[in-house]
Amino acid sequence: MSTDNKHESRQRAVVDALQAIVRQVQRTECEGEVELAPIELQLSLRLDPSNWSLSCPEPLNDQIARTLTAIHHEQVSHTSGRVTCFQCQSTHCEHALPPSLLDVFVGFSETGRPLWSHLVQALLDCRTDSVDRLYQGVPISTWIPGAELNKRVMKGFGKKSQVFAVLGQVIAGYYFVKLGEELERLALTFQWVRGPGGKQRVQMVMDPALRDEVMLQLPWIAPALKHAEKKINQSRFKGEAVMKRLASDVLRRPRRDKRSTKHAVARRHDQRPVDKAIADALEASCEKAYLDLKSNTLAIRGRSGRCHIFNQDGQHVTSFSIESDAVQSRLNRKRWQALPKSQFLDFQSRLRASLQSG
Ligand SMILES: [Zn+2]
C-alpha cells in the first residue's frame, strides 16, 4: 500500500467513526433534523503519546450534539414565516406553509404536523362573532391561545419544544391583494412564537415568495408586528394582551383614511390612493362599475386606467391600474359583471354619507 493510500484509508476510518457518531447524535439527541450541508466540527481531543490514549475533555457525543443543535437553531431561525413541522422535523416540508391563500393555521396534529383550515371554518370553530361580515368583504380577526393550538400534540412530537413553540396567534382576513393579474382574497396567521434560546418573536406565516408583495399592499401590518414583538419582549407586557391588541391593529387601516373629510379629500387629491379612489368613485358613471363575483367586492374604473376596489360597506380596499382588455377578459370569464344602476347609486350615496360623517 502506498503512503497516499494508507493516508486515505486512515482518514476514511476517522470519517466513518465521525459519521457514526453524527448519525447517532441526530437520532437520539437533536430536536429536529439538520439539513444536509457541510458541517464545521471543532472537536477537542487530547492524545497522550506515553500510552497512545485518546481522551476528550467533553464526551465526543456531547461536542457533536452541541454543534448540530446550534446549526439546527440557526436553520430554524432563518426560516421565520414558516411553522415547524415536528412530524417531518422540518420547516421546508409541504406542511410548513398554508396550502392556499384562504387557509390559516389551526394547531398541530397528534404527531406535531401543522394543520390548516379555511379562515371561515377556523373562525366558526372558535365561535367568533360576526363571521357573516366576511361575506360583505369586511376583514375580521380573532385571538387563539396557544393551549388551543397545542391541545392535540402528543409528548415527543414537539410538545415543550425548545426550538419552536406557538404561544398564541391571531388569524385575520380576508385581505384583498393583487397577485399577478388577479385580485385575490387572503387570510393571514400572525403567531407569537418562542424560538431557540427562549427568544420570542411575532411572525406572519407566509410563503416567502409572496411576502414582499403582500407587505407592500398592506403597509400597516409590518409596523404592527414589529410593535407587538417589542412589547412582548419588554417583560412587563403580557403576551396575550399584546396579541389581542395586534388583532385589531392588523385590521386597522391608518385612522386618517376613515376620517377624511370632503375638504381633506379635495386638498390631498392626487396624493394618496384612497383619496383618488374616492374621488374617482364619486365621479364615475354606472358603466364603469362592476361586481367582482369571486371576492364579492365592487370594482370601479377611474381615470388614467386606474381601478379601485371597495368592499360592500363602501370601504376602500385597494387600487391598481388595469387595461381595457383585462377588463374585457374579466367580463368574459364571468369574474366581473356589470353593477346594477340602483346598487351603484346606493354605493355612491353611502360613500358620500361616510365622508360627511367622517
Ligand atoms: Zn411536514
Could you read off the pLDDT of 195-246 as tens digits, one per residue?
Answer: 877 788 899 999 988 988 898 889 899 999 999 999 998 877 789 999 999 9
Answer whether 114's CB lies under 8 Å from 93's CB.
Answer: no
Cell 392535540, residue? Answer: 152
Q: Return the higher-pLDDT residue of 79 and 283.
A: 283
Q: Residue 79's pLDDT band (boundaries 50, 70, 90)?
A: low
Distance 84 CA to ligand 1 centre (A): 8
Distance 83 CA to ligand 1 centre (A): 9
Share of the chain above pLDDT 90, in %: 37
Sign, Cα dihedral of 115, 199, 81, 317: positive
Q: Where are the beta strands (DSSP E) in the chain?
A: 46-48, 53-55, 103-108, 114-118, 140-145, 165-179, 182-194, 200-205, 289-292, 297-301, 306-310, 316-321, 336-338
Tell me the C-alpha distance between 113 and 272, whole Å.
44
Could you read off the pLDDT of 94-105 as tens digits, one per residue?
Answer: 999 999 999 999
pLDDT, mean over the chain = 84
Q: Return the higher-pLDDT residue of 60 and 110.
A: 110
Mean pLDDT throughout 6-27? 88
Distance 114 CA to ligand 1 centre (A): 7
Cell 477537542, residue? Answer: 44
Distance 179 CA to ligand 1 centre (A): 26
Mean pLDDT throughout 264-275? 52
Distance 94 CA to ligand 1 centre (A): 6
Mean pLDDT throughout 85-114? 93
Share of the chain above pLDDT 70, in %: 88
User: Does residue 76 have a pLDDT over 80?
Assistant: no
Could you read off the pLDDT of 307-338 as tens digits, one per residue?
Answer: 998 888 788 888 888 888 889 989 998 989 99
Q: Is residue 219 classed as helix, strand or coil in its secondary structure?
A: coil
**Domain assignments of the chain as residue spans, ordered by start:** 3-77, 103-252, 256-357
Mean pLDDT throughout 121-128? 90
Distance 159 CA to ligand 1 centre (A): 15
Distance 125 CA to ligand 1 centre (A): 24
Answer whether 325's CB lies under 8 Å from 331's CB.
Answer: no
pLDDT of residue 157: 80
Distance 106 CA to ligand 1 centre (A): 15
Q: Which residues surround ligand 1, an ion (CB under 5 A)?
A: 85, 88, 93, 95
pLDDT of residue 259: 42
Mean pLDDT throughout 133-157? 89
pLDDT of residue 162: 73
Tell me the C-alpha distance between 65 and 36, whole Å.
15
Tell me the C-alpha distance between 75 and 92, whole Å.
11
Contacts of 177 (CB under 8 A, 6+ apart): 183, 184, 186, 213, 214, 217, 218, 318
Distance 112 CA to ligand 1 centre (A): 8
